[in-house]
């Protein structure tokens, strides 16, 4: 962060309170509180430096996303020595999913630290996860990778990650069903079509064929959802064969 950026976040009477919150959240007193203030500055605050550059959490969120992936990848690599690459990738996707990060950010009440001119109701739900990723980047820049990794372990892995449960959680029934068909050399096909009927909402129907026989049907507001529902129904229909 440039000197200009730091100056833009001048100290005021709320700084001590903000610093205390960050210390309680991370376990460490910030060395450079301006980084954390940027991490919790929403773009709607319209803050800029003297060069006209926007000062908000978005760049930190970008960095935090990559750092979180690296930390979780390392954790899974060392704790699941018998898992293959594909399984590790799926596990990581479950842990760092937008839905999961939003839940964590909400539980940590990160929005309460956010700087914005609008009310809390104006934030999108994804802001919970966005601030969490930005905070990760701020810790990295302020304290380094080891402290950041420890924060992820304490705030995400220990309270939220159960490897046994995650190993049994299916993130995509379609991927699982296709993999099963390929392993068993069973020809499959998803046939989708518009199925709105008299409804004003656009629906899609899908028929899932295995060896030219229909094994499941579904209907949803998108082709992707319809195919996933049909795959889930087929999975439970042939669950004994999957096991």
Q: Residue 211 region, left (φ>0) first, then alpha (ψ -120 to 50), else beta?
A: left
Query: pLDDT digits over 169-203, tens only?
Result: 777 889 888 988 998 899 999 999 887 666 677 88
Rounded-to-integer distance, Cα 207 and Cα 226, Å: 9
Structure confidence at residue 7 as a pLDDT band (50, 70, 90):
very low
147, 167, 187: which is the final residue of a domain? Answer: 167
Question: Are 234 and 218 part of one and the same domain?
Answer: yes
% of the chain exceeding 90 in pLDDT: 52
50 compared with 233, residue with greater pLDDT: 233
Question: Are 207 and 135 part of one and the same domain?
Answer: no
Place of tokens 């699941």: 80
Question: Are 51 and 84 part of one and the same domain?
Answer: yes
Q: Residue 190 region, left (φ>0) first, then alpha (ψ -120 to 50), else beta?
A: beta
Instruction: Say what the pLDDT of residue 140 is.
Output: 98
108-117, 118-127, 134-143, 169-178: range with highest mean pLDDT: 134-143
Neighbour-count burial for 144-178, b at 16+ CB within 10 Å, e otherwise:
eeeebbbbbeebbbeeebeeeebeeeeeebbebbe
Structure confidence at residue 25 as a pLDDT band (50, 70, 90):
very high
Query: pLDDT digits over 212-241, tens only?
Result: 999 999 988 889 999 999 998 988 888 767
Instruction: Say what the pLDDT of residue 119 is.
Output: 53
pLDDT of 116 over the 70 cut: no
66 compared with 51, residue with greater pLDDT: 66
Question: Are 208 and 141 part of one and the same domain?
Answer: no
Question: Are 182 and 160 part of one and the same domain?
Answer: no
Question: Are 198 and 105 part of one and the same domain?
Answer: no
What would the mean pLDDT of 75-103 be, rounded to a whole number? 89
117, 143, 167: which is the final residue of a domain? Answer: 167
Provide the mean pLDDT of the chain.
86
Of the residues 130, 133, 142, 228, only one is catalytic, namely: 133
167, 192, 208: which is the final residue of a domain? Answer: 167
Instruction: Say what the pLDDT of residue 65 is.
Output: 97
CATH classification of the domain holding 55? 1.10.1520.10
Structure confidence at residue 8 as a pLDDT band (50, 70, 90):
very low
pLDDT of 164 over the 70 cut: yes
Question: Are 191 and 238 part of one and the same domain?
Answer: yes
Question: Are 99 and 16 part of one and the same domain?
Answer: yes
Q: Domain tally for the chain?
A: 2
DSSP track, 175-201: HHHHHHHHHTT--EEEEEEE--TT-SS
Indicate the range of 17-31, 132-146, 169-183 predicted with least confidence: 169-183
CATH classification of the domain holding 184? 3.30.160.20
Catalytic residue at 195?
no
Indicate the range of 46-55, 64-73, 183-192 predicted with least confidence: 46-55
Instruction: Say what the pLDDT of residue 12 is.
Output: 65
Of the residues 61, 65, 142, 149, only one is catalytic, namely: 65
Question: Are 208 and 234 part of one and the same domain?
Answer: yes
Question: Are 235 and 127 part of one and the same domain?
Answer: no
Instruction: Say what the pLDDT of residue 134 is.
Output: 97
Question: Are 160 and 180 part of one and the same domain?
Answer: no
Structural domain including 8 reads 3-167
Question: Are 191 and 137 part of one and the same domain?
Answer: no
Catalytic residue at 65?
yes
């Amino acid at each position: 962060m440039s000197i200009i950026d730091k100056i833009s976040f001048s100290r005021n009477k709320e700084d001590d309170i903000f610093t205390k919150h960050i210390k309680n959240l991370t376990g460490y007193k910030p060395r450079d509180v301006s980084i954390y203030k940027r991490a919790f500055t929403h773009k709607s605050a319209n803050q800029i430096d003297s060069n006209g550059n926007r000062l908000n959490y978005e760049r930190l969120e970008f960095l935090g996303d990559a750092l979180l992936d690296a930390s979780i990848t390392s954790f899974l690599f060392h704790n699941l020595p018998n898992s293959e690459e594909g399984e590790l990738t799926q596990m990581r996707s479950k842990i760092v999913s937008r839905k999961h990060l939003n839940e964590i950010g909400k539980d940590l009440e990160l929005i309460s630290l956010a700087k914005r001119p609008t009310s809390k109701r104006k934030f999108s739900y994804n802001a919970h996860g966005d601030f969490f990723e930005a905070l990760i980047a701020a810790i990295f820049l302020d304290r380094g990778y080891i402290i950041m990794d420890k924060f992820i372990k304490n705030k995400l892995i220990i309270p939220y990650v159960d490897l046994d449960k995650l190993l049994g959680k299916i993130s995509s029934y379609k991927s699982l069903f296709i993999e099963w068909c390929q392993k068993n050399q069973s020809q499959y096909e998803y046939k989708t079509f518009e199925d709105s009927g008299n409804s004003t909402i656009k629906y899609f129907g899908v028929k899932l064929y295995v060896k030219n026989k229909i094994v499941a049907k579904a209907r949803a507001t998108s082709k992707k959802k319809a195919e996933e529902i049909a795959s889930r129904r087929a999975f439970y229909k042939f669950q004994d064969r999957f096991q």
